[in-house]
Amino acid sequence: MSLTGGGQRMQFILDEIKNINIKFDSVLEIGCGKGELLYYFKQNGSSNIIGIEPSIEKSYTIDGIQFYKEFASADLKLNLEFDFIYSIMAFEHIKDINSVIKFISNHLKDDGYLFFEIPNGERIMDIGDSSVFTHEHIHIFTHQSLKKLCKINSLDIIKIVEVRDSFFVLTKKSTYNVNYLDLTYNEKIKSTISVINSIHKNKKIAFHGVNNSLNNIISWCHKRTDIVFFDNDEKKIDEDFFSLKVKQPTEHNLMNIDEIYVTAHWYFEDIYKQYRDLGFKNRIVDLTNV
């Protein structure tokens, strides 16, 4: 997929934001320029709207939107938390990217979202695109480096949309912390088990994808009887799995579920969309990315 024009790119970004299907009261943009996107949120009912842009002449407020002449970093404190923070084609220019992500984490509500666009580093590497050096890009992001960036900064990747020139990444603040950069296979398994075992008992959780991976994980985790198992394979529906019946997502009241963990990694984006289309608004987590 290619986004060739500025208007086409803007519409794509707006469509991705609309797909989150949540009204954001408080919004922050990092590297906002003149704030074109911020006015979209103003027109759609957001009340706390802030843009950070180091290249403007001075800080100012216009039409209820606050513009700060600042560099986002861990040292910057706005004394506010936001439902939605986003950044369009800025992260690749920032030297201390972890400091910026720390700033975001400090200012993101517990159920808040981070959305950002960055150049598609996979394509840059594949074709040997030398023009990247003329754009003052300090970082080149790939799928692997994106996962590491989010993991070490306690962000769950909800989805990555890849187009020819860009990655569009939607993440949500994680409920756990990771203090290491590289994980061995054993450490990844231990991390997955630790995350599941740390889920508060008052939370109602579901797993989508009744497969061998889930069978092992459930066997290794603390026993819980308050979980739901979902699958789209009709052959598995109503079969017993750890003494519980496997259900189709449409057969259950999703409003009673706090979090869904997906084991069918290769179909995560389709499954994520399926639940959003069904009206589920809580966390949906790729179990291979915890």
For 74-92, b/e burial (b = at least 16 CB within 10 A) is: eeeebeeebbbbbbbbbbb
Sign of the CA dihedral 71, 76, 78, 80?
Answer: positive
Q: How do the domains of the chain map onto residue ranges?
A: 6-173, 185-289
Classified by CATH at the fold level, domain 185-289 comes out as Rossmann fold (3.40.50)
CA 4 vs CA 7, 8, 139: distances in Å: 9, 7, 22
Residue 222 makes CB contacts below 8 A (sequence gap 6+) with: 197
Answer for the pair 182, 145: CB distance below 8 angstroms, yes or no: no
CATH for the stretch 6-173:
3.40.50.150
Structure letter (DSSP) for residue 86: E
**What are the backbone angles phi and psi of residue 123, rounded to the nearest 5°?**
-70, -40
Return the pLDDT at 277: 94
Residue 187 makes CB contacts below 8 A (sequence gap 6+) with: 180
Beta strands 65-68; 244-247: pairing state = unpaired
Cross-sheet strand order for the sheet of 108-119? 60-62, 65-68, 48-52, 26-30, 82-88, 108-119, 166-173, 155-162
* Distance, CA of 157 to CA of 146 (rounded, Å): 9
Query: Which spans in the chain are helix H?
Result: 6-19, 36-43, 97-107, 121-127, 143-152, 185-197, 212-220, 268-277
Classified as helix, coil or strand, 171 is strand
The answer to whether domain 6-173 and domain 185-289 are alike in fold is: yes
Structure letter (DSSP) for residue 223: P
Stretches where the chain sits below pLDDT 50 are 1-5, 179-181
* Distance, CA of 173 to CA of 175 (rounded, Å): 7
Return the pLDDT at 62: 92
What crossing angle do the helices spanning 212-220 and 185-197 adopt, rounded to 10°?
Answer: 70
Structure letter (DSSP) for residue 271: H
Answer for the pair 120, 166: CB distance below 8 angstroms, yes or no: yes
